[in-house]
A and B are shown apart, each in its own frame.
Chain A
Amino acid sequence: MSQYVIEVNDAWVRFNLAMQKPMSAKEYFYALTHRELLFQEFFALRGVSLRMQAGESMGLVGRNGSGKSTLLKLITGILRPYRGTVRVDGRIAPLLELGAGFDGELTGRENITMNGLILGMSKRDIAAAFDDIVDFSGLKDFLDVPIKNYSSGMKARLGFAVATSAHPDILIADEVLSTGDKAFQARCEGRIEEMLSGGTTLLFVSHSAASVQRLCRKAAWINEGQIMMTGDTREVLAAYDESTAVPAKG
């Protein structure tokens, strides 16, 4: 038995860039015959290893396109490793996008069910969590309104409420607190902290150093598909800050 709930070993993830560049007839023919027309290979992760114990909280930092989201998708099981292995032990709540699968035509009530099912909850789980979801989102009076009429903050609130109501063992959150006002962010962080003290493992991506520092004891810095550094949050953030402090443009 392993002591880790998340174990990623030397994982490579392949991506299809599907470039849409203008081509001459000759180039088109070349691409067609070399099977590159519809598939251009790109490795978003190159040999990433990561281990997390139950109850740990880790922040992932790195530039846009460095592979943070890809790593989350790999751990969630949406993407499979091209090489290497991924092992996850426990129930995951993937918060890769608040309200994945929300349908504007459906009402808030209908979307709670739909979103819960998409997150892998059973109908019974959803029914049990319903009051809590309504409570947290504060949308009691708007439950029967199609959510196309919701503000983006309202949608975010509902999505966060559903995703965290599943009592997951592992919470995987990608940049989800950036929508919504300060009060909402504080409430979300409050709930995450509550879950952490209940033993939930957290893997958290954010561009807000303050959020990462508040929520995560450890951090990993990822760059161009490789882990540069893992360790104490403050040290990793300092090293990452230093690397980005160099002016990118001349």
Chain B
Amino acid sequence: MQLFTQLGLAVRNGRKFFPLVQNLVSREMKKKYRRSILGYIWCVLNPLLVMLILNAVFSTMFHNNIENYPVYLFTGRMIYTFITTSTQSVERSIRSNGPLLRKARIPIYVFPLANFSTAVVDFGFNCVAFIIVLLFTRTPVSIHALFLPVLLAQLFTFCFGLGLFLAQCSARVRDTDFLYTAFCTAWMYLTPVFYPIVSLPEGLSSAITNWNPAYFYVQQMRDLFLYHQWPEAGLFWHGTAAALLFLAIGLTSYWKSRDTLILYV
């Protein structure tokens, strides 16, 4: 019974603060591109430019063993960048809004949610850039692309859960930020974004395919748009399990600390 009243209250609160989340997102977008000549075009242009440079650098290294390297690179980078930028942005969200949280009666989750939504909007622009890459490389789009919403559901759930967990850690202990930044560097090299997974030694590659969530999502993305096949069942279940696990961790840690967080921000 009490759980239901609690949930009802949370839903009502959520509805009340949804416009604020929207407003915070549009503020971020506005501020980012205000007073620039190309404005929102940068949202799409930026990932394309980065891709061109990385492509020029790495295609000479791996050109022979990866077909359609631009798409290989873009799918990998797009997913991996979303994972790190969204989680790092959510991680900072509670702490950086401390002054406001101490002055106004806003549920704390509004800020992780707003930062995460901003990252999702950015990801949307990346998708536009991705379509341009597909067109330029004349990569056909097959029926398998229909699986994308399922993949995105996994990816978003995973990132939000991980981010929320990090956000409450970071509000309490600043060490979190430094550790996670270092961790992300390692994570990048352990995710086959630039290189083919087969170029790794046996033990390492099997560890990655079994335990690296970024790999689960990158690989599924490539299945859909590069190899034109449905993702393997194992890969799909790994991705789903990781997403649900981290969502549970994030929500539990937030729920437990929600009343005392205000004392640390």
Contacts and interface: CB of A to CB of B under 8 A. Distances in A.
B31 to A, nearest CB: 5
Interface string A111-126: 0011001111011000
A210 to B, nearest CB: 26
A105 B34 contact: yes
Contacts of A79: 262
B232 interface: no
Given A110-B27, A117-B20, A78 B263 contact: no
Contact of B103 (A80, A96, A113): A96
Contact of A15 (B31, B106, B173, B263): B263
Given A80-B259, A105-B34, A123-B19, A118 B104 contact: yes
Contacts of B100: 100-101, 118
B260 to A, nearest CB: 9
Interface in B153-194: 172-173
A78 B31 contact: no
Interface residues of A, number: 30
A117 B27 contact: no
Best-buried of A38, A79, A114, A118 by chain B (most CB within 10 Å): A118
A59 interface: no
Interface residues of B, number: 23
A169 to B, nearest CB: 14
A105 B243 CA distance: 36
A200 interface: no
Nearest to B263: A16
Contacts of B40: none
Contacts of B103: 78, 94, 96-97, 100-101
Contact of A78 (B17, B19, B102): B102
Contact of B19 (A38, A77, A117): A117
B20 A118 contact: yes
A78 B262 contact: yes
Contacts of B262: 78-79
Interface string B1-45: 000000000000000110110011001001100100000000000
5 nearest CB pairs, A to B: A16-B263, A117-B20, A100-B103, A100-B104, A97-B103
Contacts of B30: 106, 110
B264 interface: yes
Contacts of A18: 264
A105 B31 contact: yes
B23 A78 contact: no
A113 B104 contact: no
Contacts of A110: 27, 30
Contacts of A78: 101-105, 262
A73 B102 CA distance: 8
A207 interface: no
Interface string B89-105: 00000000000111111
B173 A38 contact: yes
A106 B233 CA distance: 48
A14 interface: yes
B102 to A, nearest CB: 7
Contact of B104 (A14, A103, A106, A119): A119
14 contacts: A15-B263, A16-B263, A38-B172, A78-B262, A79-B262, A96-B104, A97-B103, A101-B103, A101-B104, A103-B31, A106-B30, A117-B17, A117-B19, A120-B105
